[in-house]
A and B are shown apart, each in its own frame.
Chain A
Amino acid sequence: MYSDVRKAFTLVEILIGVSIFAVLSLGIYQVTRTFGKGATESLKATSSQQDIAQAFLLMRKELFWSTNLLFPPLKVHSPRLEVRSRDEKVKYLFEEGKLSRSVGDKKRTLVQGLKEFHFYRLDSKLLEIQLHTSKDFLSTRIFLENLGKMP
């Protein structure tokens, strides 16, 4: 009794198989790449937003107690802000996409990946902060309530 058992693929079958595999792999790669990119972007965006929110909270608190504003002068757009708050000289500086805060020799980066950031004194006690992220434009005003008062 003779039985014909096919144990091998023909060249045509292998070629078709490889082609289908290549097309499917390409599709899966594209989908993974798109979703991966989206996920990374959204994670970055969320993290950056949290940093911005935290930095603003800190600035609001610090600027509320500031008694002396050393820089910038009125009606000048500046990437630098210097205040005296609770007997400490605090400096905020935006350079190379990073917003940092320094007190004495200690320097800490608050937010990264910003496109633009500046401080603008609208009035004697009113400060405007504007910033551009990769997608959004955000702006707020902070009332420097204790400015000019004795510490």
Chain B
Amino acid sequence: MKSHSRTKFFGFTLTEVVVAGVIFLIFCIPIVGLLSTSRYTAKRLSKRLGAIMLAQGILDEIRHNSQVYGSTMPRLASKQPQGFKIQKTFRSFEEAENILVFTVKVTWKEFKKERELQLSTLVSSKPDFHVFRR
């Protein structure tokens, strides 16, 4: 009597591999997402900190000039961080006389998006007080 030969192969089916792959991806994607978000946030924070320090510095210089020289005219050369645009504006304060509101607007580009930060301060304006117009 002829023997009936039978060969058994152990292995994964295509469906099993695909399902395992999908489960692996489901676990991996949030981890990769978290890491890239953390890098993005660190970069954003760094730019924002630079902008805050820059704006505060400009406002302090305006306050210094107004109190020491009675004028907000810029007097000192500055080496400002690159990648920031600065815009200084002023208006009179509605609630009190002889008070000006100075606003510094710092803009920068961040991942192709324009970001901005505005800080303001109050400065007293005397009759002989000179305001920069630029």
Contact = CB atoms under 8 A, between A and B. Distances in A.
Interface of A: 1-6, 35, 38-39, 41-43, 45-46, 49, 52-53, 56, 60, 122-126, 128, 130, 135-143, 145
A82 to B, nearest CB: 20
Q: Number of contact residues on B: which range applies? A: 35 or more
Contacts of B38: 38-39, 42-43, 46
Contact of A141 (B9, B39, B45, B60): B60
Contact of B61 (A3, A4, A42, A126): A126
A53 B49 contact: yes
B68 A38 contact: no
Contacts of A2: 3-5
B42 A46 contact: yes
Contact of A49 (B3, B4, B42): B42
Contacts, number: 104
A26 to B, nearest CB: 17
Contacts of B39: 38-39, 41-42
Interface in B1-33: 3-10, 32
A15 B114 CA distance: 55
**B-side interface mostly:** helix
A5 B8 contact: yes
B60 to A, nearest CB: 4
A56 B42 CA distance: 18
B35 A39 contact: yes
A140 B61 CA distance: 10
Nearest to A60: B56
B4 A138 contact: no
6 contacts: A3-B6, A45-B42, A53-B49, A126-B76, A143-B64, A145-B67
B49 A52 contact: yes
A17 to B, nearest CB: 12
